[in-house]
Structure formats: structure tokens, C-alpha cells
Amino acid sequence: MTIISFIGFTLLVAVIAYISTLKTDENTSDGYFLGGRSLTATVIAGSLLLTNLSTEQIVGLNGQAFTEGILVMAWETLAAIAMVVTAVFLLPRYLKGGLTTVPQFLEDRYDTFTKTLTSGLFLSGYVVVLLPIVLYSGALAVNTMFDVPKQLGISETTALWGTVWTIGIVGSIYAVFGGLKAVAVSDTINAVGLLIGGLMIPIFGLAAIGDGEGILKGLSTLFESNPDKFNSIGGPTNTVPFATIFTGMMLVQLFYWGTNQAIIQRALAAKNLKEGQKGLMLAAFIKILGPLIVVLPGIIAFHLFGDELTNPDQAYPTLVRRVLPASLVGFFAAVLFGAILSSFNSALNSSVTLFGVDIYKQYIKKDATEKQVVRAGKSFGIVLALLSMCIAPLIANAPAGLFGYLQEVNGCYSIPIFTIILVGYLTKRVPAIAAKIGILSGVILYTISQFLLKPNIIEAAKKGITDADQLTVIEATAYPHFLHVMALLFVLNVAIMLIIGKLYPRKDAYVLEYKKAVDIRPWSKVYYVGGAVVVTVIFMYIYFAS
């Protein structure tokens, strides 16, 4: 029954995604890379959410919640505010310029080399970090949660390779051969399944805590028994100290939701600005509910079997095995598979887009037809997918703590890119040389800070200390939190760019031209809905502050 329900739901998604692309001309750049600029609000919202939500969050964030409690909800709730800013400020400008990729704006605003540099940074981040880690974390979660090695009678290593290649091949078919529309439609269907399946876990978990007296009794018991887990204010030794919410955390969120090609490509494919803004706002409201799926289960797991688990990342898989009825395991497996697939195929599709539009046509074949650009992008995607599938299983041999540094490593390119995009839109005379210096100084200074200065300073501070608690405090406080470092370097790089713009301004003021790719009349209710999202997030923090 488990296998039948798994295969049935997965095939249903594939068939609907295939049918939805039959009328889309995928031999053109707009058709393949942006789904013919035809996405509606519901599809945009579903694709945004599922592209973001994968095993890395479902398992990893619940693992953090198991240890630290509700304060880690910052990664979810603050995303809603970032979506509001994107809908109000960035998306109107993106659609006015008729962009296919974010780096295209940088070519218009600065120059071609700035665009290429940014595309290269995006691609390096996807190839080296994102794609292999999504495959590895997804395969690890599936194998652990559903005990694949035991079920198939194979070793853990063989199971890991098999699951990685299964996810990779299926994801590649969607991303490379289906184009953005197939990815977006499959994401939307899987998003519905994920919301249903994801909410089932805390419901069954609370019912288990209630011990026959209902879900509300379970929730009351959970609150009363674990008050320290429901404090939204993080201290200096937590992974999300409260002060970081006002510094680097918001910058990371704005980069991710407003400028990251893998995410914003869904909104760039909107049929008009109104649909794009509606999609972002719908996703923002659903994102506020995200802690029910990626935070609350971790706290429930702590209450039910906290003493049994030595590895916090086992919290979510263990909870699923313990509380989910056997009849629903196949459906949940299919939903989880869809979430893993979504993050992989979305990043792969964005890599294909960046290569085809920003590199192949620019440097390899300038006179390429749109059909040739699409074909080149597909070929690049196949190679990229194969490389990722080969690299992903090898991550099992990497040093411990690799995933804990993922957000930190991403800072090498996220903040520099966000900096030059923001300055580009807010100023008219900052020249191209300022953007190049801003990117390079951002990457170099952050790398020096986090991977040279930080380890040396922490090691020096730990000399002579043997007490475990003291060592923990030193690890967390001897050097500024990486989110604070991001904020400091952001301010520094903005200042550098503005100074260069003052001393060596470009001759002609930049003017954003309306390319008339889509209708850019805004949604009349965008400010009201956006305000409601922001107020809701603030209320949540106040309610859980203690």
C-alpha cells in the first residue's frame, strides 16, 4: 500500500505537469525559461514555497527547534517580510525591465562584465553548494525516514547512491526537458500535498501528547511542560541571537526572496505585475504558517522522546515513524520526495537559464537563435545534473558540521550580489567600476573574516579553557555572529560604492526603460496586504517573547 500510494501521487504530479506544458512554446527563451510569462498568482505562490521548502529545512530546522525551540522560526517568519519588500519594490522594476534573469539588469545598469561576474557567482553557488547538498540531504532523509537500506536489503552507501540518482534523474527530467512551467506546476501540486502532509505530523504528534484527550489538550501540555521552548528571543549562544534579526538576517532574506535567481524566476514569469504581487503576498501569508511544519514538530519530538535522541536531526524522521499511521506513509513519502525534487529541479532550471541567457549567448555564440540558446541550456543542465549526482554521495565523507556552515558559506556571494542590485536601483550615477569593486570586496572580505580571522581568534580565546560550558560560550561570543558580519560588510560596501559614485559618476543618469514584456499596473491592495503581513509577524514575536 505504501509503495502504491507513493507511485500513484508521484505519477499524478508528472502527468498534470506534462499536460500543462503542451501549449507552451519551449523553443523560445520566454517559453522555456519563463513558462511563456504566463504564471498566475496561485502557481507562483506554490512554486515559491516548494522551491524553498525541502528536507534541508524540514529536517534541519526541526532539529534546531528540538534543541533551541521556537526562536529558530526567524528563518520562516522574516521571509514573509522579505516577500512583501520584493513585491512592492523589486518586482515592479524587474517586470518593467522585462528581465529573464536578475543579472540582465546588472548589464543594463552597469556593464556586461558585471553581469557575467554575478552569473558566475550564482552558478558557482549552485554547483558547489546547493545542488549536491539538496541531493545528499534529501537522499539521507528518505533513507533514514523510511529505512530504505533495510527494506531493499542493501548497504547504506548503496542506498545513498541509488536515492541520489533517482532524485537527480527525475528532477533533471522536469528541469531540463520540461522548462520552468513544468517545474512550477509540479511545485504547486506538491505544495498542496506538502501543506497537507506537513500539517499531519504536528496534528498526530499533538494527539499523541494529548493521550486520547484531543489535540488541544496536547498543545496545552506541550506549552506547560516546555515553556523555555516557546521563547522567540534568542540569546548570544543561540544560532539566531535576537539582535541578528535586525542586521544580517533581513539582508539574507531579501537576497534570497528578492534576488536569488532560483526563487525570483517564478515571479519573473508572472503574466503581469498584479499576478506576481498576488503570488508573493499569498506565499508570504502561507510562510507565516511555516513554523507549524518546520518548527513545532521539533518541539513535539523533544517532549515525546527527547532523552532517546542524541542527534537532533533525527527528531523529525523519528516523529514521523512514531506518530504517522502506516496507511499514510506512502503519501507522505511522495510529498517529501516532491519537496526534495522541487529544490533540486528549481536550482537546476535556474542554472540552465543563467548559462543559456547570460553566458552562452553572450560569449560562446552571440548570433545564436532562441532555439539554439534553449538547446545549449539543456545540454549544460544535463552535464550539471550528472556532476551533482556524482558529487552528492561523496558529501557523506565530508567533515562533520558541513550543513551547519551552509548559510555561512552562502554569505560569500549573497550579500555582495544584493548590495550591487540595491545600489543599482536606488542610485542613477554609481558607475560600473563601483559594482565590480563592491562584488570583489564583498567576497574577499567576507571570506577573510569567516574562514581566516574567525577560526584563529576563537582558537586563541579557547586556550587554557577546559570547561565545556565555557568553551560553548566562547565559540558563540568570541567572534561576531556571521549575520552581524554580513551587515557590517553590507554597510561598508554600500559606502564604498557611493563614494566611488560621488568621485567618478557615470556620464548619463541611468533610466529604467519599460520593455513592455508584461502589463506592470500594480495590484491595488498590495500595500494593505503587505502591511497585514508585517503586523502579523511582529505580533508573533511579541506574543512569544518572554
- Output the domain CATH number for residue 78: 1.20.1730.10
230 falls within a domain: yes
* Under 8 Å between Cβ of 122 and 261: yes
Q: Do 251 and 270 sit in the same domain of this protein?
A: yes
- Residue 176 in any domain: the answer is no
pLDDT at position 190 is 66
**Does 423 share its domain with 281?**
no
Domain shared by 491 and 539, yes or no? no
Give the model confidence (pLDDT) of 352-393 as tens digits: 777 887 788 778 887 778 778 777 877 888 888 888 888 888
Residues 441 and 313 placed together within one structural domain of the fold: no
pLDDT for res 183: 54
Residue 439 shares a structural domain with residue 315: no
Segment 81-127, tens digit of pLDDT = 999 999 999 999 999 988 877 888 898 899 989 988 888 887 887 77
Q: How far apart are the first and last CA of the chain?
A: 46
Is 51 part of any domain?
yes
Instruction: Answer with the residue of higher pLDDT: 145 or 305.
Output: 305
Please report the DSSP string for 221-247 in residue order.
HHHHH-GGGG-----TTSSS-GGGGGT
The confidence score (pLDDT) of residue 19 equals 56
- What's the rounded mean pLDDT across residues 527-541? 95
**pLDDT above 70: percentage of residues in the chain:** 87
Domain match, 475 and 537 both: no
Is residue 393 one of the residues assigned to a domain?
Answer: no
pTM: 0.82
Binning pLDDT at 50, 70 and 90, where does residue 180 land?
very low
Q: Does 314 lie in the same domain as 449?
A: no
Give the domain extent around 487.
400-515
Q: In terms of domains, do 504 and 525 share one?
A: no
Q: How far is CA 253 from the centre of its chain?
A: 9
* 362 in any annotated domain: no
pLDDT of residue 48: 83
pLDDT digits (tens, 9 = 90+) for 504-527: 999 999 998 998 888 899 999 999
Compute the average pLDDT of residues 317-327. 82
Tell me, yes or no, whether 5 lies in a domain. Answer: no
Mean pLDDT computed over 274-299: 92
Q: Residues 437-478: pLDDT tens digits?
A: 999 999 999 999 998 999 899 989 888 888 877 887 888 888
Please tell me the predicted confidence (pLDDT) of residue 400.
Answer: 45
Is residue 181 in some structural domain?
A: no
- Shortest CA distance to 350 belongs to which of 47, 74, 55, 140? 47
Q: 178 φ, ψ to 5°?
A: -100, -20
- Determine the pLDDT at residue 201: 92
Q: Which of 473, 484, 475 is nearest to 457 (CA)?
A: 475
Please tell me the predicted confidence (pLDDT) of residue 257. Answer: 93
**What average pLDDT score do residues 309-338 get?**
79
- For the ranges 20-29, 52-61, 349-358, 388-397, which has the lowest average pLDDT? 20-29
**Across the chain, what does the average pLDDT equal?**
83
Tell me, yes or no, whether 488 and 527 share the same domain: no
Residue 11 in any domain: the answer is no
* 216-221 contact pairs (CB < 8 A, 24+): 221/303
Same-domain check for residues 133 and 108: yes
Give helix 131-145 / helix 55-68 axis angle, nearest 10°.
70
Q: Is 521 exposed, middle or buried (0-12, 13-18, 19+ CB in 10 A)?
A: exposed
Does 440 share its domain with 503? Answer: yes
The tally of domains found in the chain comes to 2
- Higher pLDDT, residue 222 or 170: 222
Are 501 and 527 within one domain? Answer: no
